[in-house]
Amino acid sequence: MKQILLLALLTLFFSSCKPILTNTFGRYQVKKMHNGGTVSATNYTVEVPFKIISGQIILKVYADKNAKTPLNFLFDTDSYSGISIKKYEQFKGDFADLRTKNFDNNKAATETEVYLVEKLYIGDILVENFKLTVDEYVNKNLDGVIGADFMKDKIFTFDFPNNKLLISDISPEENANDYPFELKKDWRKVYSTKINIEGQEMNFVFDTGRTGFLETTDKFEFIGDKQTSYELIGRNIKGYQSGTVTYIETQNLAFNNFKVDNAIIIKSSDYNINSLGTKILMDNKVILDCNKMQMMLKLKDEKIKLAIKDFPTHSFAFGWIEGLKVVHKKVEVLAIDLELFDEIIQINGNEVRNDQEKVAELMESLKNERIWYLKIKRDNRFMDVQVPPSILEY
């Protein structure tokens, strides 16, 4: 069964929808952020426990050195560290005399409390007196975020081809197969680098909250070999919203002095920054040296590898958001009356409102039918729609 989990569908556009996810500090508060993290009084290199879920890096964080059960913290280099309102009491600490503001995409601001944690452990790394913003996350499987404020003076080795993530304060020795990019850090403590893409030099934020390869604003001018646009629903820590993206498939993409095969660029007018996402980490060894301020690609054959990803061809996708809903819609589709957030009530007379696993089994059993007869709910109206399953993903 070709079932696409909702998270995998959504991360292409809103996997870390920054205006909502990021806790935006004023300059004074940023300077007060603690960047602790040590194993001993001497230099250290630590292999950190992690897992990859839908292209995102989930760190195993412990409230106590003897804790048996880890908490799941998203490692997001374009956000500040935070914790779920349901989990902060597991850590010893107290609320700091400090509040922050969160901004959504409509620039509406909500204030957030900051919790000063006495200790937390990321693997064997002890982090002391660490400030975490307290938030209520939509993703119930996420307990917190380790963000850009943790990264100062540390060296991160992403060696996912060998299933390793190392954190150190020792800069690695360079060799002939290393390709450095200069890093810069802005007042938000976010790290970025300049990359020349097809002759256009642009600044890209290194963003482990996004799961694509390159995600760009509309200022990037490039046609590619083929392209298609979708309206889609995105999920971030704070909620759901819709947007429009264009997927551009390229062959032999010029990336500085390299050529990249199988690259898919995601472009949107909803983006206000360019992002270099986690896709480059999955099949290449990458070092982020926040001490020497450089990103290092360690390539074996002078070529950046990307896992092959099918260019999207479906017209609609269904996903589970408190019920089965339309989460993806090709912009060019006009003949079939389905809209984002439409809730699917019935498929061929079968109720699909309750059990997500049973619904997936039902759709698998009906995949060879010529037509699906849907009953949908849009706002307070009920409608009947016919759609061939061959143009659907779920």
Q: Cα angle at 10 between 288 and 353, to 5 degrees?
A: 150
Report the CATH fold assignment for 316-393.
Pdz3 Domain (2.30.42)
pLDDT recorded at residue 360: 87
3-state secondary structure 208-235: CCCCCCEEECCCCCCCCCEEEEEEEEEE
Q: Which of 1-15, 192-206, 305-319, 342-356 has the lowest mean pLDDT?
A: 1-15
Judged against a pLDDT cut of 50, whether residue 46 lies above it is answered with: yes
pLDDT value of position 342: 95
Query: 376 vs 236, which has greater pLDDT?
Result: 376
Overall size of the chain counted in residues: 394
Evaluate whether 231 touches 243 at the Cβ level (below 8 Å).
Answer: yes
Alpha helices in 101-239 (DSSP H): none
Q: Which residue has the higher pLDDT, 18 or 249?
A: 249
Q: Which CATH architecture has domain 13-168?
A: Beta Barrel (2.40)
For residue 129 the two structure tokens come to 């007196």
Percent of the chain with pLDDT over 70: 84
The secondary structure of the chain in percent helix, strand, coil, rounded to multiples of 5, reads: 10, 45, 45
Check residue 218 and give its pLDDT.
86
CB of 394 closer than 8 Å to CB of 360: yes
pLDDT the model gives residue 388: 94
Q: How far apart are CA 93 and CA 211, in angstroms?
A: 33
Model confidence over 178-190: pLDDT tens digits? 888 999 998 878 9
Considering only CA atoms, give the Rg of the chain. Answer: 22
- For the segment 134-146, the average pLDDT, to the nearest whole number, is 86
pLDDT band at 42 (very low <50, low <70, confident <90, very high): low
Residue among 125, 194, 187, 128 nearest 155 (CA): 125
d(Cα 293, Cα 181) in Å, to the nearest integer? 9
* Cα distances (Å, whole numbers) of residue 128 to 1, 84, 378: 46, 19, 49
Strand partners, 330: 230
Q: Which position has the higher pLDDT, 4 or 112?
A: 112
Instruction: Determine which of 92-96, 236-240, 366-370, 378-382 has the lowest per-residue pLDDT on average.
Output: 236-240
**Range(s) for CATH 2.30.42.60 in the chain?**
316-393
Q: Where in the chain is the domain with CATH 2.40.70.10?
A: 13-168
**pLDDT at residue number 15:** 40
d(CA 22, CA 256): 29
CA angle 157, 149, 242 (to 5 degrees): 90
**Over 50: is that where the pLDDT of 31 sits?**
no
pLDDT of residue 2 exceeding 50: no
Mind listing the pLDDT tens digit for each residue in 243-258? 899 999 988 888 888 8
pLDDT score, position 18: 34
256-294 per-position pLDDT tens digit: 888 888 789 999 888 889 999 999 999 899 999 999 999
